[in-house]
Amino acid sequence: MRRWKLWLPLLAFVVLLGGVAMRIGKTEPPLPSPLIGKPLPAFSLALLDGEGRLTPESLKGRAVLLNVFGSWCVACVEEHPMLLEAARSAEIVGIAWRDKPEDTRAWLAKRGNPYRTVGLDPDSRAALDLGITGAPETFVVGPDGVVADKITGVITPALWRSRIAPLLERLK
């Protein structure tokens, strides 16, 4: 056996250590939702304001962003200006998850309301059907009611420009 081969285990260890060091502290990118390419699962939610229910059928006919948020959610505050901006060119429908209607109303009154309609999901019914793991999460839904994409976490301006706006344009 050649001498240099003795160093191979150490080298392998250093490479492994390097790999671990690079990944440490970083969160795994979220797995793609299995709902992509499938119709929205059935749900029926009371509306924050007005009569009727928020259902997948009520969204059909237009490309929409379905945004899950909560007045308790810190990251949603961060996302909010982007949604207000996006609402000028896109239709956004909100699901107020695990929230009291009065809290949602106060939150929207304070920060501005980017949503055409807001459905209420106080006990996580729709959230479980949609495979929600936290807030905010956003579905891009086509006019046919099929999920085209899902964004886990905050919609950043970069994400909006590169991924969501072009997709919405294509779906229209």
Partner 1 sequence: MIRRLVLALALIFAAAPAFAFDPAEALKDPVLETRARSIGEGLRCVVCQNQSIEESNADLARAMRVLVRERLAAGDSDSEVIGALEARYGDFIRLMPPLKATTALLWAAPALLLVGGLVAWRRAFRARAEAAGGAPLPPEEAAAQPGTTTLAIGAAIAVVASVAVYALLGHPGVADQPIRPRLAERLGVSEAAIDDMQRMAGEIETRLETHPDDARAWLMLGRADRYLGRHAEAAAALRRAIALGEAEAGVYADLGESLAIRDRRVGPEAEEAFARALAIAPDEPRAIFFLGVARAEAGDLAAAAKIWRSGAAMQPADSPWRRRLTLQADRAEAARKP
- Site residues, partner 1 (CB under 8 A): 1, 31-35, 41, 72, 74, 77, 98, 123-125, 127-134
Q: Least distance from C-beta 133 to partner 1, angstroms? A: 4
Rounded to an integer, what distance in angstroms lies between the CA atom of residue 161 and that of residue 157?
Answer: 6
Shortest CB 131 distance to partner 1, Å: 4
Beta carbon of residue 51, minimum distance to partner 1 (angstroms, whole number): 27
Closer to partner 1 at the Cβ: 35 or 167?
Answer: 35
Q: Which phi and psi (to 5°) does residue 109 adopt?
A: -65, -35
Give the CA dihedral 86, 118, 66, 128, nearest 10 degrees: 150
Q: For residues 142 and 64, is the Cβ–Cβ distance under 8 A?
A: no
CB of 116 to partner 1, least distance (A): 25
> Considering beta carbons, is residue 134 or 145 the nearer one to partner 1?
134
Q: Which of 128, 105, 111, 108 is nearest to 45 (CA)?
A: 128
Q: Which is nearer to partner 1, 90 or 132 (CB)?
A: 132
Q: Cβ(41)–Cβ(147) under 8 Å?
A: no
Comparison of 33 and 104: residue with beta carbon closer to partner 1: 33
